[in-house]
Amino acid sequence: MNQANHDISFLHDFYKRMKKNQVLMMYEGEFSQDVTKSVLSMTENSFSANNVDETVKKKVYNIMMEALQNICKHEFKQLEQDLPNSESLFMISSTEKNFHIITGNAIEKKIIETIKGKIDKVNSLDQEGLKLLYKEARLGSTISSVGGAGLGFIDIARKSGNKIEYHFAPLTETIFYYTQLVTVTK
């Protein structure tokens, strides 16, 4: 039995750390369609309780959907049962000025460059550039230049108006944990 898990004294400390990082909610595990729906609905209710502006709410909601879809698309499921700390993650935090939407999942090392390339590309563009890239990607004319259509990342960048942050940490020689952070200004 994992003793650490059954010690009650960590709870207050964890509560304080959640508060310090301003984390409102964290979910780890498989993202079925039903779980995704519940996570979205939970966030929506949390917003209603905190009088969040409708436009911001809509942005966060849409970005969450995209980010959660990306988890389903890219997560490396085969090893999830056996590899420690590789479960997919959703976390949302609320600071004074921003909401941070944090997602994480295990991926194969070989797709890191593709993901990084897509993000670096959208991060280098302004709103007008993103709009053009989105149109082109939808028409399918620039698939190779963005390393796949990358519509999800373009859409996230357009809606958030901020850079997409990434973190790739090795779990094994060939599997990495990919964390993504999107900021929505309140």
Which residues contact other proteins (rule: CB under 8 A)? Answer: 1-2, 4-6, 8-12, 14-15, 17-19, 21, 23-30, 32, 34-35, 37-39, 41-42, 45-46, 48-50, 84-85, 89, 91, 93, 100, 102, 104, 112, 116, 119, 163, 165-170, 172-173, 179-181
Neighbours of 87 (CB within 10 A): 18
108 vs 132 by CB, closer to other proteins: 108
Q: What DSSP state is assigned to residue 164? A: P
97 vs 144 by CB, closer to other proteins: 97
Using DSSP, how many helices (H) and how many strands (E) does the chain show?
Answer: 6, 5
The amino acid occupying position 34 is D
Q: What's the token pair of residue 170?
A: 């090795």
Query: Side-chain half-sphere of 120: how many Cα atoms within 13 Å?
Result: 9
7 vs 144 by CB, closer to other proteins: 7
Work out how close the CB of 156 gets to other proteins at its nearest, in angstroms, rounded to a whole number: 14
DSSP3 helix / strand / coil % (the chain, rounded to 5): 50, 20, 30
Work out how close the CB of 138 gets to other proteins at its nearest, in angstroms, rounded to a whole number: 26
Work out how close the CB of 135 gets to other proteins at its nearest, in angstroms, rounded to a whole number: 26
Work out how close the CB of 55 gets to other proteins at its nearest, in angstroms, rounded to a whole number: 21
Query: Side-chain half-sphere of 86: how many Cα atoms within 13 Å?
Result: 19
Neighbours of 75 (CB within 10 A): 20
138 vs 167 by CB, closer to other proteins: 167
Work out how close the CB of 85 gets to other proteins at its nearest, in angstroms, rounded to a whole number: 5
45 vs 141 by CB, closer to other proteins: 45
